[in-house]
Structure 1
């Protein structure tokens, strides 16, 4: 029998990843207002990179936990809602991997190190100046898409909670 709620480990990972996305996006948005000569700019970049790498690591952990902890049963509803929910789920998982990997590729394609808590990560990708700019554009495009996708996710949850009143938000609440 499937539970009506997500496992506590998945709930914790969900909210931790949300906070990390907020940190990464807030840092990079704030950096846009900081002059390039400001000494705090590298610190802001490091915060962005660290949050992004943590998103990638927690996404891997989330997949492993998700394999061992089944999702709650689907809520009854029109087929388009179920399909939209599955599409949103897929998009969010793609973003959890594609966004940080593109960021790592962008930095390493420029021959620079990705810093994680003050330590340079091993280079996963060789320097490739020709691909650096297109990957940067992809990274920024996906980063901007996060605002819309997460916004739709929140709106859908609020719609279910307050219009349909199916108690969907209790499935992702900490116990």
Structure 2
């Protein structure tokens, strides 16, 4: 590992992926929410869906790269605190990673179960699942459930970071901010 585990800040690469994933997820969610307000048959719905899927697939790629970054550069030592707090922080991060992987995967699977191809930057992804209307509906429900849950999971993550920063005053936000990893 290039970065010592007892460093106070995340590596610049991890910081980049953290905020890039946040922006991509926010864009994907905003697009799909906006699409719901458009009338049926609106030609913009197809463009919005395409961009929603593109951002979702980029989230998947960036999460893979972020995990690789964690292994390559490590993470700062955990902040001190009660055992339950440290456990809940680890659980929250695990849940965030689960959501970041599950949303793009279920999106691709339910699209393919609907008999449609999924393209990524001009390449057509291989089919991981055969067309199946019933399965498509089930996977879509899971995708939408996770998509709705992400608001709460990310909200809790943000509240936790703000609580650490402004109540505990332990510098949590500086650990994951640009320029901090010098």
Does residue 93 in structure 1 map to residue 80 in structure 2?
no
Question: Which residue in 2 is equivalent to 1:52?
Answer: 56
Unpaired stretches in structure 2, ≥5 consecutive residues: none
Write out per-residue CA displacement over residues 27-73 of structure 1, whole angstroms, 9 at most, x where no aligned residue: 10000001121111100000100000001111111111111111100
Alpha-carbon RMSD: 1.1
TM-score normalised over the length of structure 2 = 0.93
Length, aligned pairs only: 175
User: Which TM-score applies when normalising by structure 1?
Assistant: 0.96
1:103 to 94, 107, 112: 107
Give structure 1 stretches of 5+ with no counterpart.
Answer: none
Residues 32-43 of structure 1: pairs in structure 2 closer than 5 A: 32-43=36-47
Residue in structure 2 matched with residue 123 of structure 1 by the alignment: 127
Aligned mates of 1:60, 1:159 — CA distance in 2: 28
1:149 Cα deviation after fit: 0.5
Work out the CA distance in 2 between the residues paired with 1:118 and 1:137: 27
The list of structure 1 runs, each at least 4 consecutive aligned residues, that deviate by more than 4 angstroms after superposition, is none
Tell me the distance in 2 between the aligned counterparts of 1:124 and 1:24: 22
User: Partners in 1 of 2:151 and 2:77 — Cα distance?
Assistant: 27
Structure 2 residue 55 is the aligned partner of structure 1 residue 61: no
- Whole-angstrom distance in 2 between the partners of 1:132 and 1:165: 47
Equivalent residues of 1:113, 1:120 under 8 A apart: yes
* Secondary structure, counterpart of 2:127 in structure 1: coil
Verify: 1:144 aligned to 2:148, yes or no.
yes
Matched position secondary structure for 2:117: coil
Instruction: Check the 8 A contact 1:46/1:116 in 2, yes or no.
Output: no
